[in-house]
Amino acid sequence: MRIRKAVITAAGKNQRTLPLQTLIDRDGAEKQVLRIILDEVLTANIEEICIVVSPDDEAAYLRAAGDRAGATQFVHQTEPLGYGHAVYCARNFIQEDPFLHLVGDHLYVGSAQESCAQHLVRVAEAQECAVSAVQPLPESLLHNYGAVGGQRISGSADLYRVENVIEKPTPTEAEQKLNVSGMRVGHYLCFFGMHVLTPTVLHLLGKELHARSGVTLSSVLARLALEEKYLALDSPGRRYDVGGRYGLLRAQVALALSGRDRVEVLSQILEALAIQNLDSRSGRPE
């Protein structure tokens, strides 16, 4: 299985402007979030990228793509019909090919040797099936994420066969339906915001959307687990939701501390903390 295509969804009401925010990337260059995401995708040897946007946003996104625009095309989500529908909007682009999928309001920081997208695509191609990146999170954060339950693949430290998927489960639901053998008590495998999906997902989305509105991707992935091999990969990278509280700040710090200016940024952070500590001790206003 060769993954040549990628779909980035960025048409959500509370998501549309986030990929247009500007940060300093690991190479020290000023870039908009979208451009950083496109660079992440291209590390995985993706050849074609589709971005699902609101019709009014295409021009701004095209500018943000910069010199990556040549590998990029746009599809419009003309009505705010949800995340599952946004993915389905790219069906003519995807056709019958497997594809990498990312959300437009997350940034990903992998190792110096391999990006998060590279790692996920490498595993999916080797396993020849859909694979969702996940990370263990405490139950206090379940209300923010879709989560999966299943069994660890024998002989693997980071791969799980998915048996169930629930969007934003309650702690009680998670305890009853999403337990994973060997997982720390009170922790569950939550979506990372990055997937490799098969065309089956589009067929399932089409059936669900024909029957009802407001279809979540998680509900379709739950059905996918019943129809074909579907795995979850515990990603060693880190993801940063730029739409969350202090999200852009946390993403910027993470990029800086994993980039060429790491020593300079660490020195500035330590200096700021030292000054704050001195001011606190002297009684000066912070």
Residue type (1 letter), 78: T
pLDDT in tens, the chain (286 residues): 999 999 999 988 777 889 999 999 999 999 999 999 999 999 999 999 999 999 999 999 999 998 899 989 999 999 888 899 999 999 999 999 999 999 999 999 998 789 999 999 999 999 999 999 999 999 999 999 999 999 999 999 899 999 999 999 999 999 999 989 888 999 999 999 999 999 999 999 999 998 777 789 999 999 999 999 999 999 999 999 999 899 999 999 999 999 999 999 899 988 988 888 777 776 655 5
Tokens standing for residue 269: 């952070």
Cα angle value 265/68/38 (rounded, 5°): 55
In degrees and rounded to multiples of 5, residue 199 shows phi and psi of -60, -20
Domains of the chain: 5-242 (3.90.550.10)
Rg from Cα positions in the chain: 20
| pLDDT at residue 283, rounded to an integer | 62
8, 64 in Cβ contact below 8 A? no
